[in-house]
Amino acid sequence: MSPGESDDLLVGFDTSDDAAVYLMGDQAVLLTVDFFTPMVDDPYDFGRITAANALSDIYAMGGRPLTAMNLLAMPCSLPPEVTAEVMRGGADKVCEAGAVIVGGHTIDDKEPKYGLSVMGVARPEGVVRNVGARPGDLLVLTKRLGVGILNTAIKQGLETEESQREVIESMAHLNRAAAEAMVEVGVHAGTDITGFGLVGHAREMALGSGCACEIELANVPVWPKVVEYAEAMVRPGRTADVVAFLDPFLDWGPADFTWKGILADPQTSGGLMMAVAPEKADALLAALAARGEEAAVVGRMAAGEAGTIRVV
């Protein structure tokens, strides 16, 4: 048996799911890890956002986080209060999620990094995977796109963290309520939108589900100023790599150079994308709205070559 196989391993890394799932008795244990270099200057916000991003992998699979362990790499030359603020931000967000920090590991590193290894649980039959979507399913997205572009604008001095406070709070916002709505209504597949952008994660869902996908450009929600900045080439360096990787699988349709950059924009702590049966879509949108979550229907799964995406 290979290191990645076990009779109790329900989900490994073969379909790029958001967390591993291991069966322990009548519980499904969810395991994930994620860490970042700073995307904002404020150390407390950095901690909050990074923790929310790591916790999101548990929520994306319909789980409830229980414990988290810190992963911290900081230069010893930094004032200790900076490191303390990063860890305080992470701890506050973990506490908000109803989980507890149980330890971790630190190293001396020239470039600051912070993240969490998170453990959660779900009912085995209630685990939501990024596979299982069916042709005809509608794609419901929470949180607007363009976080990577706006973070770049901040780094280039075109925006400030205060001018983009709403975006920062969105990154720090837990996907807990969205996950609760997803589990309550029932969906065929789900994932969170992070480093591969909307179309990259849609590609993973379509490929694993054995179908194609259509993205409706007019329905894709974006933050203010994102289109202008994308047109002006204010975008993360990784965006070009994502577009190049996806090009063979995408028919970009009406998406011009600007919109390619938005659809492939790497998100930090983005929203959930759920493939839901058409007859349940209204119920899902209502459940999300009742919890104060923004949501939009951004496309649908379709019959066709597995993993191909068409922008319409």
| Helix intervals (H) in the chain | 43-60, 80-96, 147-155, 165-172, 176-185, 197-209, 226-231, 238-246, 257-263, 278-290
* Phi and psi based region of residue 280 (left: phi greater than 0; alpha: psi -120 to 50; beta: remaining): alpha
* Phi and psi based region of residue 297 (left: phi greater than 0; alpha: psi -120 to 50; beta: remaining): beta
Task: Say what the pTM is.
Answer: 0.95
- Which residue in this structure is represented by tokens 């291991």? 22
Helix (H) or strand (E) holding 191: strand 189-192
Cα separation of 17 and 151, whole Å? 26
Q: Which of 197, 144, 195, 139 is nearest to 169 (CA)?
A: 144
Q: Which of 29, 15, 2 is nearest to 203 (CA)?
A: 15
The CATH class that applies to domain 9-126 reads: alpha beta
Token code pair at residue 312 = 């319409």
What pLDDT does 1 receive? 40
From the first residue on, what is the mean pLDDT of each consecutive set of 10 residues in the chain (312 residues)? 70 85 94 95 97 97 97 95 97 98 96 97 94 98 98 96 97 98 98 96 97 98 98 95 96 97 97 98 98 98 97 98
What pLDDT does 12 receive? 83
Domain edges within the chain: 9-126, 138-311
* b/e burial code for range 210-223 (CB count within 10 A of at least 16 → b): bbbbbbebeebbbb
Token code pair at residue 201 = 């994660």
Cα separation of 308 and 303, whole Å? 10
Q: Is the dihedral of CA 248, 298, 205, 302 positive or negative?
A: negative
Cα separation of 270 and 279, whole Å? 26
Q: What is the CATH number of domain 138-311?
A: 3.90.650.10
Contact 67, 99 (CB under 8 A): yes
